[in-house]
Amino acid sequence: METPLEALEVERRFADWLNGIVSPLNDEQVQKMLRCEHGGISETLADLYADTKNEKYLRISEDILSEAILDSLKEEKDVLPGKHCNTNIPKLIGLSRIYELTGDTSDRKAAEFFWNTVVRHHSYVTGGNGNEEYFGPEDKLRNRLGEGTTETCNVYNMLKLSEHLFEWDASARVADFYEELSLITSFLLRIRNQEMSPTIFHLTWAGIKIFRIRSLLPAVSVLDGKPLKVWQNIYYHNDNELFIFQFIAQNLTGRKKKLW
């Protein structure tokens, strides 16, 4: 098993390899490359900068931000209809992490606008979003129901984005949304405990679409990690306050700064 330092070295070398590919490209070439789904690369590189304090990794993280989407969101324009959901949610997670490291308020503005737009105008009553993996027209959901509704990858990444927003402003609305999605996660956890241990890709309105597969696909890795969200983030605290983020049966033990 790798030690944390060995794992960090692997991550650093991979980032250096990526830098060798991206650095020679001009901005137009980079943006063309970013048209496809590229996951949480920007977030990972921002975290690597936080771990190493090497400015190179922050620069790469910012260089591979998708301008076509993020610039519009910074101007509070809903450009999501027709866009692939889980290509874009991780972009805002990465932007949120960059905000936390640089303090650029335009990044936070984009992340908050995106979250509010998805939650208020593109989400079903369960809190999930997307049909056949894509956002549709704003506030028009009843005709977009089927076997491909509410991909669970989207749910997982909206949970991640919600964590960032709550840490900034301890919003009850964000907590309520997170808890709502956690109820779905609890249901998925019970399904996963079945003997066959299936992987659920879509939580549809006509049932659930289940894959019994063994794969290294990123989507499967996300789905395998999603049930763990049930047990995360039950409490938050700062120096003066304790926040109950989810109402889940549990016991709080230990003491920290005499908050409880």
Quickly count: other Cβ atoms within 10 Å of residue 79's Cβ.
Answer: 16
pLDDT of 256 > 80? The answer is no
What residues have CB less than 8 Å from 220, skipping those under 6 apart?
199, 211, 213
Secondary structure string (H, E, C) spanning 41-54: HHHHHHHHHHHHCC
Place of tokens 């120096």: 239
Band (pLDDT 50/70/90 cuts) for residue 221 is very low
Tell whether the model's pLDDT for residue 208 goes beyond 70.
Answer: no
**Single pTM value for the model:** 0.86
Question: DSSP state, 231?
Answer: G
> Which helix (H) or strand (E) covers residue 243, if one does?
strand 242-244
Mean pLDDT lowest among 31-40, 107-116, 213-222, 226-235: 213-222
Q: What is the pLDDT of residue 161?
A: 97
Between CA 106 and CA 74 the distance in angstroms is: 6
Backbone φ and ψ for 164, nearest 5 degrees, come out as -65, -45
Q: Which residue has the higher pLDDT, 206 or 100?
A: 100
For 98-124, write each residue's pLDDT tens digit: 999 999 999 999 999 999 999 999 999
What are φ and ψ of residue 22, in 5° steps? Answer: -80, -40
What pLDDT does residue 45 have?
97
d(CA 105, CA 100): 9
What is the average pLDDT value for the chain, to the nearest integer?
A: 84
**Least confident range of 184-198, 211-225, 227-241, 242-256:** 211-225
**pLDDT tens across 21-55, in order?**
999 999 999 999 998 899 899 999 999 999 999 99
Q: What per-residue confidence (pLDDT) applies to 241? A: 86
Query: Rounded distance, CA 84 to CA 228, Å?
Result: 25
What is the band of 2 on the pLDDT scale with cuts at 50, 70, 90? low
C-alpha 38/C-alpha 158 separation (Å) is 16
Helix (H) or strand (E) holding 62: helix 55-63
Q: If pLDDT is split at 50, 70 and 90, which confidence band does 215 have?
A: very low
- Tokens representing 203 are 């939580």
Of 38-42, 199-203, 205-209, minimum mean pLDDT range: 205-209
